[in-house]
Amino acid sequence: MNIADQLVLSAGDGDVIEVARLLGQGAVVDAPNRHGRTALDRAVEQGHADVVRELVGAGANLEQQAGEYQESTPLCLAASQGHTAVVGVLLDAGAGTGAQGRLGYVPLILAATTGDEGHPETVDLLLDRGVDINAVMKHKTALDWAVRFGQEEMVHRLIDRSAIPSAETLAAAREHLGHHPERRRKTERIAVALLAVDVAPGTDQEPRTEAGNLA
């Protein structure tokens, strides 16, 4: 096993002492292993914040490709996994928070929508650090995506954090109901929550009109 493979393996295992030793012996911090994964990539994926901090301190590229298919970035990967401590380390190091990676992922939207109800603590951390709650990915905000996936708790959380619904947001609720008619009560509760908030300016349709179509 060469030194790059050893570094990536140790990073994925969370062995910060071994990672520091290998770096001290001259291991290149962003050198990929035989599978194309780097130490930062694997440490982020496994949620090892202390290892991530060590690698970032050694100059690891915060914008590098990450994930099994190299489709992501370290911050997006951490956000999608709900590794809040890792997200904090990456933000402290200056990681960008806008659309990134070859697929244009937005960290906040991944944190809000991955899994059954997203990752609330990660969402709160990103928003506390000033991330734009109305940033879009594929023309939809985190709130739009949460509504579309029927994530009731996340919808409430985003509204509480001042997310602004639009007529399109309620259209997303209608779309969710169309795909999941068995979830009517849940979708109606989401619609009620949206109706309690003023619609975003500039939309061409009143949200209450859309809500009526859920009935």
Q: Are 145 and 187 in contact (CB under 8 A)?
A: no
Q: Are 16 and 39 in contact (CB under 8 A)?
A: no
In the chain, the number of structural domains is: 2
Q: Are residues 57 and 126 in the same domain?
A: yes
d(CA 187, CA 151): 9
Q: Are residues 80 and 139 in the same domain?
A: no
Q: Are residues 10 and 91 in the same domain?
A: yes
Which of residues 108, 132, 156 is at a domain's end? Answer: 132
Q: Are residues 148 and 92 in the same domain?
A: no
Low-confidence residues of the chain, pLDDT below 70?
A: 198-215
Q: pLDDT tens digits for 69-92?
A: 999 999 999 999 999 999 999 999
Q: Are residues 23 and 98 in the same domain?
A: yes
Name the pTM for this structure.
0.88
Q: What is the pLDDT of residue 199?
A: 61
**Which DSSP string do the residues of 68-130 spell out, in sequence order?**
TTS-B-HHHHHHHHT-HHHHHHHHHTT---SSBTTTTB-HHHHHHHSSSS--HHHHHHHHHTT
Q: What is the pLDDT of residue 214?
A: 52
Quote the DSSP letter at residue 64.
S
Long-range pairs for 205-212 at CB < 8 Å and ≥24 separation? 205/167, 206/167, 207/165, 207/166, 207/167, 207/169, 207/170, 209/167, 210/167, 210/170, 210/171, 210/173, 210/174, 211/170, 211/173
Q: What is the pLDDT of residue 176?
A: 76
Q: Are residues 19 and 114 in the same domain?
A: yes
> What CATH number has the domain bearing residue 89?
1.25.40.20
Q: What is the pLDDT of residue 215?
A: 44
Q: What is the pLDDT of residue 24?
A: 97
Q: Are residues 163 and 122 in the same domain?
A: no
Q: Are residues 85 and 114 in the same domain?
A: yes
Q: Are residues 185 and 126 in the same domain?
A: no
Q: Are residues 139 and 105 in the same domain?
A: no
Q: How many residues does the chain have?
A: 215
Which of residues 81, 115, 132 is at a domain's end? Answer: 132
Domain span at residue 2?
1-132
Q: Are residues 18 and 75 in the same domain?
A: yes
Share of the chain above pLDDT 90, in %: 72
Q: Are residues 116 and 161 in the same domain?
A: no
The amino acid present at 47, given as its one-letter code, is: G
